[in-house]
Structure 1
């Protein structure tokens, strides 16, 4: 646990939601300059580590993915130690595995003890579908039934992890109050 000079533990917040739920959009909408926090992306750190090989990450053996995820977590710890601020990480708890067709839990046992909070963006399958269809830059699942399963699995895992590990869980519905709700949690 990282503690600042005033004795208050720093928060490590996993900001999550299925692909296409609107995480990046919401992050752009909040005034980061007004918040005394470090913002980073787990995927961005992974991409920096892997370079050109990043596009093949989903096809690596599970043990190699796990090692990379642990390295990302270590990097996050160093970022927070260097800056001495709360840390907000754009990340995922679960992802649809294109290789196996399963929805995988990618939050590791090391993450359970690392994070203090989970902010889960929740939405409807229709909203996620609409976003995914519009964004042709990435290969995404556009089957509404599968999107529904992704949303439900992510929410169930967030609730399970928070209950079992004592993490604070904040669920933000993606509607016209999402930005306000996010700011309230971050200012916490």
Structure 2
């Protein structure tokens, strides 16, 4: 898991921002609902990477993008129409994105993203009001969480969902601490 740098200004005002605008849509299939990834057409994916100076974008299976202050892992798929961005319902709610809304995606270079040292998360049932409670064994949940979301990026207040043994869980990132990568860097960076 990784932590992106926090942007200091919106993409639309940044002179060096590498961005494209796509229209928010549903995911192209239910099989992608719990990946915490967002999806676009291959042509849009290559366009964004080329704007970012990537010479051979077809060789990259994914990239990191900032959308309304949250950082997501984005993958291309032929199942998305050009000009559309596939997000799950939780991602849209978290970032306050409406269906068919134009969304600016800003490329986040991988070299600027640090591995995570730790995450502080809150767990809740995805669907409230059922009157049920769920006992979660953290020793079993943590490896499953890491396996499902390894290599992804998170920011505080970001939401994600996981199907944990038939129970839908909603996670809220409360705090993300990046690893120390060089002697010049502070011990850790709280995001």
TM-score bin, normalised by smaller chain: under 0.3
Task: Give the TM-score taking structure 2 as reference length.
Answer: 0.21
Structure that is richer in strand per residue:
2
